[in-house]
Amino acid sequence: MSDKLYPVSADWASRAYVDDAKYKAMYEASVKAPEAFWGEHGKRIDWMKPYTRVKNTSYDPHNVSIRWFEDGTTNVSYNCVDRHLAKRGDQVAIIWEGDDPKDDAKITYRQLHAEVMKWANVLKSQGVKKGDRVTIYLPMIPEAAYAMLACTRIGAVHSIVFGGFSPDSLAGRIEDAATSVVVTADEGLRGGRKVPLKVNVDAAVDKIPGVVKSVVVVKRTGSPVAMKEGRDHYYADLAATVPDECPPEEMNAEDPLFILYTSGSTGKPKGVLHSTGGYLVYASMTHQYVFDYKDGDIYWCTADVGWVTGHSYIVYGPLANGATTLMFEGIPTYPSISRFWEVVDKHKVNTFYTAPTAIRSLMGAGEEPVKKTSRASLRLLGSVGEPINPEAWEWYHRVVGEGRCPIVDTWWQTETGGILITPLPGATALKPGSATRPFFGVQPEIVDAEGKVLEGACEGNLVISDSWPGQMRTVFGDHDRFVQTYFSTYAGKYFTGDGCRRDADGYYWITGRVDDVINVSGHRMGTAEVESALVAHPKVSEAAVVGYPHDIKGQGIYAYVTLMTGEDPTEELRKELVAWVRKEIGPIASPDLIQFSPGLPKTRSGKIMRRILRKIAEDEFGALGDTSTLADPAVVDDLISNRQNRK
């Protein structure tokens, strides 16, 4: 929490699309008359057949249904590519910066058009039709954008799986989406290290016999990989055999656009489904206003396309706006800890959008690696993925932005498709650590545990009371789960899963997840997923996973593990379990701390009391609260004396 206020500079208030008065007027209009507001702003994309119906949404738990622009037709790749050709065919669409600073490329809109059409025909040659799903498991190379846009061109639905996920995680996602075609690369390259993508795909496909018919392989490193006859094809070989031209398919606004799997508090990851028209309108509009994007700006979002931030703010939002978007293959610390700022200088980046975890880890190396670069081109900074603590905010503002760049702290989720709560750089006075105010059309409310709507300054759970165009439409293949997860906790409202405080100025401060989801370095992890990976190990009988505060990652993963009778809690086994979870889910799920505990605190009905486990993991065991309902209160003493996090 911070009481500091950073007013909008005169320069920003005059250059931006929106100043404070305009924000207030537009916001007011957007919530008073959503039909009229979105009816107008829906026109920012090109429609083949214009819509006549704007909003048709219901949050009634008996009938959750979300439809926007439902009788309009359009095509996403047309909007992101073709429509820019007349005016900006020779403008750079994608600046690609490789892992090695010597590797880079600039792709114009005209080149992007040719690539996307070629890719679309390659996918067609592998039997992909409108409505089919395609799994994309690629590193951060331009081909990721080509493949995404190619899917949208022919009406296929992409499901991107982050390259850091294990073969098991990949297999689960391929199977759930039932994709017969997988697009991958021989290897990825990050921080000078090779990532065995094709090897992982082979292992994943073997786990789910009969699902995958074709694997399209992009050569990234050129290392030899096993190619299975009849199933695996190098992209270049297929491309040589297909035509150059591919017209965009006419899609209904509500046709599915992509699936993206995300962790929830229970069970396996959910396939969040976004649809065509509303998503694109919302992604492009937020990109324009939040980043105040103007022609000629160089815009860089450091996310991976495997996460929603990469979908909306590397690819779809920027390209729909005819922007120049930078795509970075590498990591912030390679080959040097100044890499981000060197890339900023090299490409004269104006807008830089990253995650707090990156800022915190760079802060640790001090100011010198930043100060030795110029960063004169920077005008605006952004933050996403987790709460940014005021110290990191101040450092980002003072050291990276030299006090002259506003920071847009953007709160949103995979489910929301685009940014919901955020400052606008020409309109909003900033408070370090606050995501500030809602974007147009977004109606946040704070409710208490019983669902009572709280007024004024308050703290509770964050819900959204009405729909916006970028909202997810369903959980792929499981509409009931969609309703249960988001609309049943507080009937008639979208429940975000986040806690939130509103201050006297009406500013929102996200306090973190209130469910069993933890946020590790800006990546969402379901504690249930890590637990099921642990109990799959033959020596583990039971596991409970909670988050705890971590200086760099925001939250770390703390696992309580009960071993099978007779197994020894050795240091070796601890290492083995960490490696096991990495193998089962992926490196992002590695437990930071493992506590071997002979028993877990359970109620008499056998329910694990996570509240107690969280407190002990936080090293706050003085405040355990009532433990009298535990079946065996003595368990707690053992947990405390063997705790792994001692501040």
Binding site as annotated, residues for ATP: 385-387, 409-414, 498, 513, 524
What is the total count of residues that contact ligand WTA (CB under 6 A)? 23
Q: Is 411 in the site for ligand WTA (CB under 6 A)?
A: yes
Alpha-carbon dihedral of residues 470, 384, 84, 185, nearest 10 degrees? -100
329 in contact with ligand WTA (CB under 6 A): no
181 vs 260 by CB, closer to ligand WTA: 260
Smallest gap, in angstroms, from Cβ of residue 522 to ligand WTA? 7
Asked if 414 touches ligand WTA (CB under 6 A), the answer is yes
The sign of the CA dihedral 121, 126, 127, 128 is negative
Strand partners, 523: 520
- Chain residue whose CB lies nearest ligand WTA: 414
Query: How many Cα neighbours within 13 Å face the side chain of 163?
Result: 25
* Contact between 386 and ligand WTA per CB under 6 A: yes
Binding residues for CoA: 190-193, 309, 521, 582
Of 214 and 325, which has the nearer Cβ to ligand WTA?
Answer: 325
Cα separation, 159 vs 173, in Å, equals 8
Closest CB to ligand WTA among residues 278, 387: 387
Return binding residues: 190-193, 309, 385-387, 409-414, 498, 513, 521, 524, 535, 537, 540, 582
DSSP code of 400?
I
Q: Which stretch binds ligand WTA (CB under 6 A): 152-160, 283-291, 404-412, 485-493?
A: 404-412
Near ligand WTA in 18-37, by CB under 6 A: none
Cα(346)–Cα(366) distance, rounded to whole angstroms? 22
Per rule CB under 6 A, is residue 262 in the interface with ligand WTA? yes
Name which of 328 and 411 has its Cβ closer to ligand WTA.
Answer: 411
Q: What is the DSSP string of 299-315?
A: EEE---TTSHHHIIIII
Q: Does 308 bind ligand WTA (CB under 6 A)?
A: yes
Pick from 522, 511, 520: nearest CA to 593:
520
- Note whether 347 and 298 are within 8 A (CB): yes
Q: Does residue 519 belong to the site contacting ligand WTA (CB under 6 A)?
A: yes
- The Cα–Cα gap between 238 and 223 comes to 19
Between 256 and 418, name the residue whose CB sits nearer to ligand WTA: 418
Candidates 79, 200, 410, 436; binder of ligand WTA (CB under 6 A) is 410
Q: Does 499 bind ligand WTA (CB under 6 A)?
A: no
- Give me the least distance between CB of 355 and ligand WTA, in Å please: 9
- Neighbouring residues of 33: CB distance < 8 A, sequence distance ≥ 6: none
Contact 177, 159 (CB under 8 A): yes
Greatest distance between any 2 Cα atoms in the chain:
74
Task: Choose the binding region for ligand WTA from 178-186, 306-314, 319-327, 397-405 (rule: CB under 6 A).
Answer: 306-314
489 near ligand WTA, rule: CB under 6 A? no
Phi, psi of 413 (to 5 degrees): -150, 160
Residue 462 CB, nearest distance to ligand WTA (Å)? 9
Q: Which is nearer to ligand WTA, 75 or 416 (CB)?
A: 416
Plot region of 403 (φ>0 → left; ψ -120 to 50 → alpha; else → beta): left
- Asked if 86 and 58 touch (Cβ cutoff 8 Å), the reply is no
Phi-psi region of 509 (alpha: psi -120 to 50; beta: other; left: phi over 0): beta
Q: Token match 């073997």: residue?
A: 206
Residue 498 contacts ligand WTA per CB under 6 A: yes
Cis peptide bond upstream of 423, omega within 30: no
Contact 460, 454 (CB under 8 A): yes
- Binding residue (CB under 6 A) for ligand WTA from 292, 304, 409, 584: 409
Q: Angle at CA 134, nearest 5°, toward 467 and 484?
A: 35
Question: What residues are designated binding site for Mg(2+)?
Answer: 535, 537, 540
Applying CB under 6 A, which of residues 233, 379, 513, 602 lies at the interface with ligand WTA? 513
- Segment contacting ligand WTA (CB under 6 A): 20-28, 63-71, 328-336, 490-498? 490-498
Contacts of 588 (CB under 8 A, 6+ apart): 164, 520, 521, 523, 525
Q: Does 384 bind ligand WTA (CB under 6 A)?
A: yes
Q: List the one residue from 158, 233, 287, 524 that touches ligand WTA (CB under 6 A).
A: 524
Site residues (CB under 6 A) for ligand WTA? 262, 307-309, 383-387, 409-414, 435, 496-498, 510, 513, 519, 524
